[in-house]
Amino acid sequence: MKISRAEFGYGGYQDAMVGVDFTFSSPGCGCGDFWGTWAIERSEHAKWTEQSRIDTLGGVVMRLAKILDQAKKRHVGELVGVPVEVTFEGNALKSWRVLTEVI
């Protein structure tokens, strides 16, 4: 498979989250992966804290930096076309990685 879309912005659950959104595709197959957290204002009943949101977004950015380094790219949009290995468990995306050995 290859990365057919890579963007940073709103997405995830009902587009109420902010993070990085990937789409992977090959002939006859496609799937997506979103890394992020809530972008909405926190209510007093939320199970997450502002600090956990900051920590999650920091983790997302560091994970994204690692992907950019592995793909030898500098910007998120440049990831389009990068070959990846995608692993499924049943019909669900389990994991994926950049095929560094072919880059």
Q: State the pLDDT confidence band at 54, using cuts at 50, 70 and 90.
A: very high
> Closest by alpha carbon to 87, among 13, 33, 34, 12?
33
Q: State the pLDDT confidence band at 89, using cuts at 50, 70 and 90.
A: very high
Q: What integer is the mean pLDDT of 6-33? A: 97
pLDDT in tens, 61-76: 999 999 999 999 999 9
| pTM of this prediction exceeds 0.85 | yes
Residue 7: predicted pLDDT: 98
